[in-house]
Amino acid sequence: MGRVAVWWWAAPAVLLVLGMHYGGIAAGSIYAFTDWRGIGPFKFVGLDNFINIFRNPKASQALWNTLLLAGGFLVLTNVIGMAFAVALNRQLKSRHLLRTLLFMPVVLSPLAVSYIWKFIFQPQGPLNDLLRAVGLEDQTRAWLGDPSSAIWTILIVMVWQHIGLTMVLYLAGLANVPMELEEASAVDGAGAWRRFFHIVLPLLRPTIVVASTLILVQGLRVFDQVQAMTAGGPFNATETLSTLVYKETFVSGRYGYGAALSLLLTVLIAVFAVLQIVLLRGKKEEN
């Protein structure tokens, strides 16, 4: 048989990826070690940018907030999504409708979703209305303006929007759990909880790894929700690595410092991505 493809057919895609992805990342890694301000000459400053990150309380706070949000996002989105998937998996008459409804927030822009929740958390908004209605007047507060609650409002918005995503992933995973296996153990007298922890959960492990990585990487990059709801305030209480990168680089023009922050974020994400590959590979070799 003759040739069916010519090698240069792949060239446009390869060039686009090399230019926009690898070229950008390589150049960005170099900027991270300079004092460049966007225009004019620059000099290499070694690790100064990174030392500044760890000395600067604002940047340390952003790093801590990012890890807190990503961790909370990881746990809550997976647990709640899995709970809905298990509840919806079989039998329920309304399962198709509920699946469509619960997945709907996933397709919306995080920015638009954040505005809805910003309204809910307003001092005169529905959340405080509800608290007053049930007699918890003393619990009302300016949720977004209070440094102790602001970060949790961001987390709630992130989790709320992505429950449908993990639910759909776990529904696909559950479809691979053979019903006979569950029935057999039910006949053996295993209760619903036992069946879930001893039969269903181990079989869901590959899905858990994929869903966790996806959610964690998204969580580490959190930007839209913060920008829309609090813009990093009050007093940096909701500042994240991505919002700080945006401010330092594109608002203040500290390109070198911003690139160093980005590099830190990139390394964080890369570590977790590699961890997923290792976990998945380990699973494959076991089988």
Partner 1 sequence: MNRYDKKTLAREGLVVLAALLLMLPFYFLVNTALKSDVDALNTSAMALPPQLSMEGIEAAWSGSPTRNIPAGVLNSIIITGGSLLTLIAFGSIAAYTITRIPGRITGLLYGMFVLGIILPFQLGMVPIYVVMRNFGLVGTHLGMILLYSGLLMPLSVFLYTGFTKALPREYEEAAQMDGSTPFQTFRRIVFPLLSPATGTVAILCGMIIWNDFFTSLIFLSGSQNAPLPVVVYGFVGEQVSKWNVIFGAVILSMIPILAFYLVAQKKFIQGFAGGIKS
- Considering only residues 233 to 262 of the shown chain, the ones binding partner 1 according to CB under 8 A are 242, 245-246, 249-250, 255, 258-259, 262
Between residues 19 and 148, which has the closer beta carbon with respect to partner 1? Answer: 19
CB of 100 to partner 1, least distance (A): 5
**135 binds partner 1 per the rule CB under 8 A:** no
Between residues 28 and 145, which has the closer beta carbon with respect to partner 1? Answer: 28
Whether 36 and 256 have beta carbons less than 8 Å apart is answered as: yes
Rounded-to-integer distance, Cα 255 and Cα 66, Å: 21
Rounded-to-integer distance, Cα 203 and Cα 174, Å: 8
Distance of CA 119 to the CA centre of its chain: 23
Backbone angles phi, psi at 216, to 5 degrees: -65, -45
Query: For every residue of 166-201, which 3-state class applies, written as one string?
Result: HHHHHHHHHCCCCHHHHHHHHHCCCCHHHHHHHHHH
**278 binds partner 1 per the rule CB under 8 A:** no
Rounded-to-integer distance, Cα 255 and Cα 258, Å: 5
β-partners of residue 34 are 44
Looking at residues 77 to 96 of the shown chain, list those that interact with partner 1 (rule: CB under 8 A). 84, 87-88, 90-94
Between residues 201 and 275, which has the closer beta carbon with respect to partner 1? Answer: 275
> Binder to partner 1 among 42, 103, 152, 196 (CB under 8 A)?
103
Between residues 13 and 148, which has the closer beta carbon with respect to partner 1? Answer: 13
> Binder to partner 1 among 68, 131, 210, 279 (CB under 8 A)?
210
CB of 115 to partner 1, least distance (A): 5
CB of 217 to partner 1, least distance (A): 7
Rounded-to-integer distance, Cα 8 and Cα 16, Å: 13
**31 binds partner 1 per the rule CB under 8 A:** yes
Among the residue ranges 51-59, 62-70, 197-205, 263-271, the one whose residues contact partner 1 (CB under 8 A): 263-271
Whether 246 and 72 have beta carbons less than 8 Å apart is answered as: no
**219 binds partner 1 per the rule CB under 8 A:** no
Between residues 109 and 148, which has the closer beta carbon with respect to partner 1? Answer: 109
Between residues 102 and 148, which has the closer beta carbon with respect to partner 1? Answer: 102
Which residue in the block uniquely carries the two structure tokens 């060039």? 15
CB of 104 to partner 1, least distance (A): 7
Between residues 209 and 237, which has the closer beta carbon with respect to partner 1? Answer: 209
**21 binds partner 1 per the rule CB under 8 A:** yes
> Binder to partner 1 among 168, 199, 204, 244 (CB under 8 A)?
168
> Binder to partner 1 among 51, 79, 126, 198 (CB under 8 A)?
126
